[in-house]
Structure 1
Amino acid sequence: MSEPTMDTYLLQLTEQMRDSAQNLPDPNVMSEFDEENLPEELKPFAYAERYIHGKAKKISTITSIPSESFPPAEQLTETQISFLYDEMKRLLNAYCFYAEFPKGLPVEIKYRLLRKKWKDKAVYTGEGITGFEFCDYEPKRCPFPETFCSCKDFDFNEDDLDMGNADDSDEMPL
């Protein structure tokens, strides 16, 4: 796509995303959760129960924005990537989803990871905060460049664990 055509497409996509953010689905319907049958004392915590017992769906299904709608970063300018990333983040926030990235991570990397995340499943609770992490704290699989990888700081082996000697105390061994 040429740049003016891409800009037009991104404006249309933005309109769809903003419409989705303004017309949120019923969280009980989306998560296939029966809030009506919750005991009265649990109703104030329905969102938490929904998170635990609701059915996870692809983010693309929850938001009604197909993952294929987001162009690959290679087809976008830096300005378009930044614009689209901000719009994606706003949309996710409307659904109580929050993406967590290392401070200072370039927006192109954030966009690529968020675009990929769109195919993942989550439970839509309708309230509260559902955080999206992108790293499973395994340095070999870290999706962030080494300068932004904090999971390497958590790398340890069994010798690093000092469990003490259970015979030296009155406490039960773990």
Structure 2
Amino acid sequence: MRLALLTLAGKVISDASGKKKNNVNVPDFIGVVEVKHSIKGRIRYRVPRLKGDNTLADYITSQLSKVKFISHVEASAVTGSLLINYDYNQIDPNMLTAAIVKLLSLEEEINKKKDALVTRELSNMKEVLNLAVYNKTKGILDIKSIYLIAVMIFAIRGIRTAPRMLPNGYTMARWAYKEI
């Protein structure tokens, strides 16, 4: 049920975006099942799960070959590519995507929370910077402790010099306390 909803949502989103890969409009699940090329009756997927797994490539080939309106299936464990020739008038290409997801048990991977590349890289930069500060101060400080000290300094300064400023010193002191 959830897979059908995901497929339907993907179709709606891809229809709304107006981006088509040639003649067929099929949703992508980036990093899980991606449409690399498609025309009516022929579609090529990139499925990273297939890469390096000959058994899985043989399994998906044999299962999809059993479908009446699929004339040719070719799965490559070397490239992680899956090529399907099918009768466009009989099979909706979105159902092919759904079948691949179901056969390879990729539902959980599709539903997994994913972070954008920029978010991951910023997180890595933060960790590297934190480690550099920690090592340079021989374990006395890290980024969090520097942040807390700075907030506390601004809080104390705010309480003493401008008690009516927003955010006021008391608010900043609470922020620092919550971070401890």
Do the two structures share a fold, i.e. TM-score over 0.5?
A: no
Larger Rg: 2
Question: Normalized against structure 2, the TM-score is what?
Answer: 0.19
Q: Which has the higher strand share?
A: 2
The structure with higher relative contact order (CA 8 Å, sep 6+) is 1
